[in-house]
Structures are given as C-alpha cells and as structure tokens.
Amino acid sequence: MFEPVVKGLILGLLLGISVGPIIFSILKQSLNNGHRGGYAFIAGVSASDILLVLICNMFTHLFDAVMQHELIIGIAGSGLLIALGVYNFFFRKVQTAENGMLMVNNLRAHHLIGIFLSGFFMNTLNPGSFLFWFAATATITADSKLVDHPDQYRLIVFLTALLFNLTSDTTKVLLANKIRLKLTPHNIHLINRISGFILIGFGIAIIITIIVRDAHAGKL
C-alpha cells in the first residue's frame, strides 16, 4: 500500500522538521552527554510518541463508535492540523538553544534512565505533541474509511511516521554540532513557516478527500 506509506512519511517529516523544545533538548543532550545521552533521550521521546499514538487511537475509536460521524471527526482533526499550521506559519516564536550544561563524561545506568525519562515526560507533557497526534489520528481514521483494510492502513501510516521520526532524531544526535550551528533565528523561522504550510496543506487535502468521498456516496 503506497498511499499510507506516503502519508506516514509526511507525518514523520512534519515531526522531524518541527523546531521546538524537543529538538533543542536532543542537541543539548548530544553535545553535553555524548551520543549515548542523545540516544537515551530520543528513546524516551519515541516511547512517548508510541504511547500518545495508542491513546489517541483509543479515544478516536471510542468517539467514532459512539457518534458514528466520521465526517465530523475527520473535519475536526483536519481543522486542528490547519490551526497548528497557521500557528507555526504566523505566530510561532523563534527560540534559541540553551547552553551551559555540565559535561557528564561517564554515564551510568541511572544517568541513562534519568535522561530517558526526561525525554519521555518532556514529550508527553508537551501539549503540541498530544494535539498533533490527536489531529493526525482523527484525520487518518476518517481517511482509512476509504480503503478495504482500515486497521492495516492506520498501522502502516503510524508505523512509518514513528520510524521516520526516530530516524530523523537519530540523525540529529549524530549531527548535533553541525545542526546547532545552522539553527540561526532566520533558519528556524523559515523551517517553522515550511512546517506550517505543510500542515495547512495536509489538513485541507484531507477535508477535500472526505467531502468528495461523502458527496459521491450521497451522504451530503
């Protein structure tokens, strides 16, 4: 199935190029605690993303089972994506990386566990992460109604997105010093605008797909 892979790559790309507290924390951990610290942090972030995807899918299925209005769910989720895109494009403030953390030369198991938990809770408690995954889940769930195997469709989309984002974060750890030098306020602003534009386009495309599908089915 080519389409769910492409949509999963788009979601993963949106997460990968998002400039926020997570990317700066990845850079800080990698620069101050080496690759092991960076990998422990992104492992926590990835575990958080998996948990958020599972929670959002559970709530979306519950809402879908009770309301049976996939059109409303899809449009609401797409609206959230568009709102996030508008925020990124017009209103998101430029941030800069923090400095001054102490070096930890010999990371022991409890250090790595602490770094893992910091990544997990930072991502879990970030409202933007939850809103992103909830909006993505709502739109993909509604979109999956178009295919014969919706569960397989959603699995491919989210698995692709999570794997792509993990690969992106791993690359950030490996290239931490070079990425940090490139994150000027101008570049960050440009990345935010590109991310916002993609979110808006993705949300609009989903809404059009749902409306056209329901129009052909005689539901509108």
For residue range 117-152, list pLDDT tens digits in order.
Answer: 888 887 887 667 777 888 788 778 777 777 778 888
104 pLDDT above the threshold of 50: no
Output the CA–CA distances (angstroms, integers) from residue 108 to 35, 43, 117, in the order listed: 14, 16, 14
Question: Domain residues of the chain, as ranges?
Answer: 2-216
Q: Which of 17-21, 92-96, 114-118, 127-131 has the lowest mean pLDDT?
A: 92-96
| pLDDT interval class at 97 (50, 70, 90) | very low
62 pLDDT above the threshold of 50: yes
- Asked whether the beta carbons of 172 and 21 are under 8 A apart, the reply is no
Q: What is residue 12's predicted lDDT score, i.e. its pLDDT?
A: 86
Answer with the residue of higher pLDDT: 141 or 71. Answer: 141
Nearest one of 116, 158, 165 to 134, comparing CA atoms: 158
Residues 6+ apart with CB under 8 A from 49: 15, 123, 129, 133, 162, 165
User: What span, in angstroms and rounded, lies between the C-alpha atoms of 204 and 20?
Assistant: 24
Q: What is residue 36's predicted lDDT score, i.e. its pLDDT?
A: 84
Structure tokens given for 79: 């609206």
Helical spans, DSSP H, in 125-184: 127-143, 150-174, 176-182
Query: How do residues 23-47 score in pLDDT, each as one tens digit?
Result: 777 777 776 677 888 899 899 999 9
Q: What is residue 150's predicted lDDT score, i.e. its pLDDT?
A: 81
pTM: 0.66
